[in-house]
A and B are shown apart, each in its own frame.
Chain A
Amino acid sequence: MLKTLELEAARADLADVDAMIKRRSSPRDMLARVQLNARRESLEKKVQELSARVQTAAAVALHFGGGPVVGSHGIAASFSSKILERYQHLVSVVFAAFESEIPLKERGPIKGSPNSQLLVTGLARGSFGFVLEEGQEQMLVPSGLKLAVESACDFIQQVATEGERGLEIAAEGLDARIVSALKNFFETLKDADAVLKVVEGDRSYTLGLDDVQRGLSRASSLEVVENDVEWTGELFAVPASGLFEFSKDGNGELVKGKMAKGALNMLMAEDGRLRQGLFPGRFVAEINQKTVQSQQGKQKTTYVLIRARPTA
Chain B
Amino acid sequence: MIPLYTVSDVLPPFIGDNVTVSAAMSPFRSDMLAVVNRFATSPERIAILRGLFTYRESLLAVGVEQGFQWLSGSFFEDVEKIRGRAPADVDIVTFGFVPALYGREDVANAFIEANLDLFTAAQTKSNFMCDAYFVDLNQSPESVVDDTRYWFGLFSHQRETSLWKGMIHVALDDSSEVDAMKLLEARHAENA
Contacts and interface: CB of A to CB of B under 8 A. Distances in A.
Interface of A: 1-2, 5-6, 9, 12-13, 16-17, 20, 23-24, 26-32, 34-35, 38-39, 42, 122-126, 131
B159 A13 contact: yes
B160 A39 contact: no
Nearest to A1: B160
Contacts of A17: 150
A38 to B, nearest CB: 5
A10 to B, nearest CB: 8
Given A24-B143, A35-B121, A39-B121, A6 B108 contact: no
A38 B101 contact: no
- Counting chain B residues whose Cβ lies within 8 A of the other chain, the interface size class is 20 to 34
Most buried by B among A23, A32, A39: A32
A31 B136 contact: yes
Contact of B119 (A23, A34, A125): A34
A125 B161 contact: yes
20 contacts: A5-B161, A26-B140, A27-B108, A28-B101, A28-B143, A29-B143, A30-B101, A31-B112, A32-B139, A32-B147, A34-B112, A35-B121, A39-B121, A42-B122, A122-B161, A123-B161, A123-B162, A124-B160, A125-B161, A131-B161
A34 B116 contact: yes
A132 to B, nearest CB: 13
Interface string B147-176: 100100010000111110000000000000
SS class of chain A's interface: helix, strand, loop or mixed?
Answer: helix
B146 interface: yes
Contacts of B17: none
Contact of B101 (A5, A31, A131): A31
A39 B147 CA distance: 13
A5 B120 contact: no
A2 B121 contact: no
Nearest to B133: A35
Contact of A9 (B102, B108, B135, B159): B159
Contacts of B136: 28, 31-32
Contacts of A126: 162
Nearest to A7: B160
B37 interface: no
A131 B160 CA distance: 10
A13 B154 contact: yes
A155 to B, nearest CB: 26
A31 B120 contact: no
Given A30-B108, A35-B119, A39-B121, A12 B159 contact: yes
A34 B121 CA distance: 10
B190 interface: no
A126 B160 CA distance: 11
Contact of B150 (A9, A20, A31, A38): A20
B68 interface: no
Nearest to A26: B140
Contact of B160 (A6, A27, A34): A6
With most chain A CB atoms within 10 A of its CB, the pick from B121, B135, B139 is B139
Nearest to B142: A23
A13 B138 CA distance: 25
Contacts of B112: 30-31, 34
A266 to B, nearest CB: 44
A1 B134 CA distance: 29
B160 to A, nearest CB: 4
A39 B124 CA distance: 13
Contacts of A6: 160
B115 to A, nearest CB: 10
A16 B135 CA distance: 17
A184 B136 CA distance: 58
B123 to A, nearest CB: 9
A125 B162 contact: yes
